């Protein structure tokens, strides 16, 4: 068998000045994303008890997003500004075409300020799976092999504007001691005296090649009439990604050297190893206790399948950015725009080893040398299920997971409380003169989820069906994502444990229900109707969904001046019991703000003591919400072979508002020295107030004819 599908998603951006760019009226750029899916499969029967099946998939994705004027080098050829549109280095590359961005001259930006555009992305995904199934006595065995090949080729110098960014400032033409006006910036632009430039280049394309391989065996064993066991073992191997013709890059923070795998004397794996011992056992059971009860349980390990191509896509020196500013910040200028933007300095990579410039980061992150841990998830559950009267089945379960070695960033160029008053205290500033962040990437995170889950399901009978579920749970973690994420609030190593807190998506209570009801009126139903009565009142059905969720957590933050910990987030002090007021809207607190205080309020500059606030991360929760989505259907039998269906559907029929979380910035409050609110308008500055909401409601009517 085989299947083919294709999706084209064209997008057209609109700009304030048309083909001259300016502010985007919505999203930047225009282009097309084409995704195709080709799938084929087979089945082969060796015997009535031995079967083989397999599937192959190929998914190509091509995405191109352009900008106005990209067909020509507008900045270089039409505006006559040297160094724009790739400059002397890449002037012949049409991907650098289009409008540079000019800002700061008293009017709206001219050109395109989307630093991430244009982009050219080509991705290919190949998957293959083959399985064998064998029944032998009380055993149903299944084993097989899976392979995934991921290929990524991206051109996107997104760290700066690839066409060039030109800015003008008013200080150059301003009288010293006076406030610069917009006219000063405009005068600077007329003189052509640039106050700064920036641009980025694609030194080499972002290429990733990656394999993901797995073998497994599973035995479903009917031990006896009441007991069934599921026993399995899966082995996975994730070879380290590469750039096609060489290995990946990494940075050594102890030497400030970047090495390119497979270049010069650098080994292909660049000193990075991955595990070849990723065994994942799985066990499950089902035990019947009479005719009404079933006890089920299971335990398993799953390795994080995140492709490394995503977080390790654009490491230095794939994309290079240059910035140029005057040495005198207030009244100086860099040069006249007739001289243009200088070329971005490029490194010599022939030896495979180069020094990382002090004002460059490694890209979003760099892996460490040595063993690179891939995270895994342990999951287990125990469920008691019971058959109930009226065609219903109920269950109650304990479900839990543990995330081990979650792949996360950590900024290692941090210092503890009080030392952040000067970037000179940063460890890499002292070692290499680096004062910017330095994210290193490895599996060091942890997460946990525990829940009590209950369900009640009624099978379809007498025209009625329903499914209900309730979850009482708690999710804790150090970051809400994996692969492309860092800790929630604290990067300094002695304070990493403070990140372990309720997940940003955690909801303590979740109730959902789905239902369907065929009204008992009409031909063939309990109350039989015919003729006009059947056309009017017969054949109606009602279904829908309903859900009720409690709120998500948020953090009450404080001023960083009272912590002075670079790479950290200050939290507030809790100075009283938390009181929920339930207000919604500006100056209507949801929680009593008097229970919280910015640590800076107690800070003594003469005798400074830098400490984190007494509150943790995500300690309070915002409002929950509920939503009802009903639908009404009616079938009309027009002729023997033609049927029409009328539909009336609604989303959030009650127009219930979904409120955002309150503002948690305790530093915003305007307080008197005694802690009371100042006698000024809005002294809370919306602290603990909810100022955002989502309140949509939709109705849809439709007719469907089948014949």
Q: Which has the minimum average pLDDT: 72-76, 139-143, 156-160, 677-681?
A: 156-160
User: Is the pLDDT at 43 greater than 70, yes or no?
Assistant: yes
Query: Do 83 and 204 have their domain in common?
Result: yes
Burial of 142 (0-12, 13-18, 19+ CB in 10 A): middle
The Cα 139–Cα 481 span in angstroms is 40
Distance set, CA 342 to CA 30, 162, 335, 510, 559 (Å): 29, 13, 10, 58, 40
Query: Do 482 and 622 have their domain in common?
Result: yes
The Cα 303–Cα 236 span in angstroms is 8
The Cα 699–Cα 654 span in angstroms is 11
Residues 6+ apart with CB under 8 A from 178: none
The Cα 362–Cα 592 span in angstroms is 44
The helix/strand/coil state of 191 is: helix
Let me know: does 486 contact 426? Beta carbons within 8 Å: no
* Token representation of residue 518: 């065929």
**pLDDT computed for residue 77 by the predictor:** 92
The Cα 360–Cα 352 span in angstroms is 18
What digits encode the pLDDT tens for the residues 362-398? 988 999 999 999 999 999 999 999 999 988 999 999 9
User: Of 409, 439, 454, which residue sits at a domain end?
Assistant: 409
- Reported confidence tier of residue 684, pLDDT bands at 50, 70, 90: very high
What digits encode the pLDDT tens for the residues 637-650? 788 899 888 999 99
User: Is the pLDDT at 429 greater than 80, yes or no?
Assistant: yes
Distance set, CA 214 to CA 131, 235, 279 (Å): 12, 6, 10
Query: Do 396 and 484 have their domain in common?
Result: no
Higher pLDDT, 436 or 591: 591
Query: Do 107 and 212 have their domain in common?
Result: yes
Query: Do 161 and 293 have their domain in common?
Result: yes
Peptide bond into 118 cis (omega under 30): yes
- How many domains are there within the chain? 2
Query: Do 402 and 469 have their domain in common?
Result: no
Chain centre distance of CA 247 = 27
Instruction: Name the range with the highest mean pLDDT among 235-239, 327-331, 428-432.
Output: 235-239
Over range 42-55, report the average pLDDT.
97
**Residue keyed to tokens 């230095």:** 316
The Cα 289–Cα 308 span in angstroms is 46
* Token representation of residue 470: 């309730």
The helix/strand/coil state of 113 is: coil
Peptide bond into 399 cis (omega under 30): no
Q: Which of 7, 1, 2 is nearest to 36 (CA)?
A: 7
Radius of gyration of the chain, Cα coordinates, nearest whole angstrom: 31
Query: Do 393 and 508 have their domain in common?
Result: no
The Cα 116–Cα 352 span in angstroms is 28
Query: Do 350 and 485 have their domain in common?
Result: no
Residues 6+ apart with CB under 8 A from 603: 561, 562, 609
User: Is the pLDDT at 441 greater than 70, yes or no?
Assistant: yes
Query: Do 360 and 472 have their domain in common?
Result: no
Query: Per the domain annotation, does 261 fall within a domain?
Result: yes
Let me know: does 645 contact 634? Beta carbons within 8 Å: yes
Query: Per the domain annotation, does 434 fall within a domain?
Result: no
Query: Per the domain annotation, does 144 fall within a domain?
Result: yes
**pLDDT computed for residue 341 by the predictor:** 92
Query: Do 99 and 193 have their domain in common?
Result: yes
The helix/strand/coil state of 352 is: coil
Query: Per the domain annotation, does 428 fall within a domain?
Result: no
Query: Do 65 and 151 have their domain in common?
Result: yes
Q: Range of 680's domain?
A: 464-706
**pLDDT computed for residue 288 by the predictor:** 96
Average model confidence (pLDDT) for the chain?
A: 93
What digits encode the pLDDT tens for the residues 105-118? 777 788 888 888 99
Within 10 angstroms of residue 452's Cβ, the number of other Cβ atoms is 12
Give the largest Cα separation in the chain, rounded. 95
The Cα 343–Cα 364 span in angstroms is 23
What digits encode the pLDDT tens for the residues 276-307? 999 999 999 999 999 999 999 999 999 999 99
- Reported confidence tier of residue 328, pLDDT bands at 50, 70, 90: low
Q: In three state form, how does the secondary structure of 214-273 look? A: EEEEEEEEECCCCEEEEEEEEEEECCCCECCCCCCEEEECCCCEEEECCCCCCCCCCCEE
* Token representation of residue 12: 């057209």
**pLDDT computed for residue 206 by the predictor:** 94
E strand or H helix that includes residue 531: helix 531-537
Phi-psi region at 115: left, alpha or beta (left = phi > 0; alpha = psi -120 to 50): alpha
End-to-end CA distance of the chain: 27
Query: Per the domain annotation, does 322 fall within a domain?
Result: yes
What digits encode the pLDDT tens for the residues 614-642? 999 999 999 999 999 999 998 887 888 99
Percent of the chain beyond pLDDT 90?
74
Query: Do 400 and 497 have their domain in common?
Result: no
Q: Which has the minimum average pLDDT: 157-166, 275-284, 517-526, 568-577?
A: 517-526
User: Of 377, 409, 441, which residue sits at a domain end?
Assistant: 409
The Cα 99–Cα 194 span in angstroms is 17
What is the DSSP-derived secondary structure letter of residue 174?
Answer: S
Query: Per the domain annotation, does 449 fall within a domain?
Result: no
Query: Per the domain annotation, does 432 fall within a domain?
Result: no
Query: Per the domain annotation, does 524 fall within a domain?
Result: yes
Let me know: does 104 contact 184? Beta carbons within 8 Å: no
Over range 180-187, report the average pLDDT.
82
Let me know: does 318 contact 347? Beta carbons within 8 Å: no
**pLDDT computed for residue 330 by the predictor:** 63
User: Of 375, 392, 409, which residue sits at a domain end?
Assistant: 409
The Cα 316–Cα 206 span in angstroms is 10
**pLDDT computed for residue 329 by the predictor:** 60
């Amino acid at each position: 068998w085989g299947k083919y599908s294709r999706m084209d998603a064209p997008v057209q951006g609109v700009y304030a000045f048309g083909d001259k760019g300016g502010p985007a009226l919505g999203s930047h750029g225009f282009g097309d994303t084409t995704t195709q899916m080709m799938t084929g499969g087979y089945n082969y029967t060796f015997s009535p008890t031995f079967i083989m099946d397999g599937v192959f998939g190929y998914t190509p994705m091509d995405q191109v997003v352009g900008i106005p004027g990209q067909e020509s080098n507008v900045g270089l050829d039409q505006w006559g500004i040297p160094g724009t549109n790739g400059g002397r280095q890449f002037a012949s590359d049409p991907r650098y075409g289009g409008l540079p961005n000019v800002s700061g001259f008293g009017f709206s930006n001219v050109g395109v300020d989307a630093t991430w555009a244009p982009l050219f992305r080509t991705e290919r995904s190949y998957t293959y799976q083959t399985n064998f199934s064998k029944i032998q006595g009380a055993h149903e065995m299944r084993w097989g092999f899976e392979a995934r090949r991921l290929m990524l080729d991206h051109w996107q110098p997104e760290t700066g504007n690839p066409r060039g960014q030109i800015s003008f400032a008013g200080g150059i033409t301003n009288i010293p001691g006076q406030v610069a006006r917009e006219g000063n910036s405009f005068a600077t632009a007329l003189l052509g005296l640039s106050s700064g430039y920036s641009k980025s280049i694609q030194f080499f394309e972002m290429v990733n090649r990656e394999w993901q391989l797995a073998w497994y065996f599973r035995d479903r064993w009917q031990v006896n009439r009441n007991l069934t066991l599921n026993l399995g073992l899966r082995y996975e191997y994730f070879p380290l990604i590469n750039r096609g013709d060489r290995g990946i890059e990494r940075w050594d923070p102890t030497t400030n050297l970047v090495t390119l795998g497979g270049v010069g004397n650098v080994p292909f794996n660049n000193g990075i190893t991955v595990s070849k011992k990723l065994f994942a056992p799985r066990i499950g059971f089902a035990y019947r206790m009479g005719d009404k009860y079933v006890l089920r349980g299971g335990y398993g390990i799953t390795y994080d399948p995140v492709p490394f191509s995503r977080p390790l896509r654009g490491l230095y020196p794939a994309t290079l950015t240059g910035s140029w500013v005057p040495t005198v910040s207030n009244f100086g200028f860099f040069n006249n725009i007739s001289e243009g933007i200088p070329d971005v300095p490029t490194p010599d990579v022939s030896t495979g080893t180069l020094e990382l410039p002090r004002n460059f980061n490694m890209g979003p992150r760099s892996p460490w040398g040595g063993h690179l841990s891939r995270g895994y998830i342990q999951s287990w559950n125990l469920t008691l299920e019971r058959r109930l009267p009226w065609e219903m089945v109920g269950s109650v379960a304990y479900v839990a997971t543990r995330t081990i070695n979650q792949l996360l960033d950590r900024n290692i160029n941090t210092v503890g409380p009080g030392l952040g008053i000067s970037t000179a205290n940063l460890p890499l500033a002292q070692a290499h003169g680096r004062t910017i962040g330095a994210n290193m990437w490895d599996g060091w995170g942890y997460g946990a989820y525990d829940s009590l889950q209950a369900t009640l399901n009624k099978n379809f009978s007498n025209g009625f069906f329903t499914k209900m579920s309730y979850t009482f749970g708690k999710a804790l973690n150090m970051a809400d994502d994996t692969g492309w994420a860092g800790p929630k609030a604290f990067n300094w190593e002695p304070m990493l444990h403070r990140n372990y807190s309720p997940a940003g998506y955690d909801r303590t209570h979740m109730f959902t229900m789905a239902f369907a009801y065929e009204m008992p009126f009409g031909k063939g139903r309990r109350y039989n109707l015919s003729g006009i009565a059947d056309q009017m009142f017969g054949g109606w059905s009602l279904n829908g969904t309903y859900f009720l969720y409690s709120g998500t957590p948020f953090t009450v933050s404080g001023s960083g001046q009272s912590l002075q910990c670079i790479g950290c987030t200050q939290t507030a002090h809790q100075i009283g019991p938390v009181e929920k007021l339930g207000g919604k809207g500006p100056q209507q607190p949801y929680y009593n703000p008097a229970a919280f205080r910015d640590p800076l309020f107690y800070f003594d500059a003469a005798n400074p003591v830098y400490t984190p606030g007494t509150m943790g991360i995500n300690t309070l929760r915002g409002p929950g919400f509920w939503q009802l989505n009903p639908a009404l259907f009616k079938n009309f039998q027009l002729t023997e072979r033609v049927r029409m269906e009328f539909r009336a559907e609604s989303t959030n029929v009650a127009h219930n508002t979904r409120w955002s979380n309150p503002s948690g910035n305790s530093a915003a409050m305007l307080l008197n020295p005694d802690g009371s609110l100042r006698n000024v308008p809005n002294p809370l500055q919306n602290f603990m107030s909810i100022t955002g909401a989502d309140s949509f409601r939709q109705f849809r009517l439709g007719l469907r004819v089948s014949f």
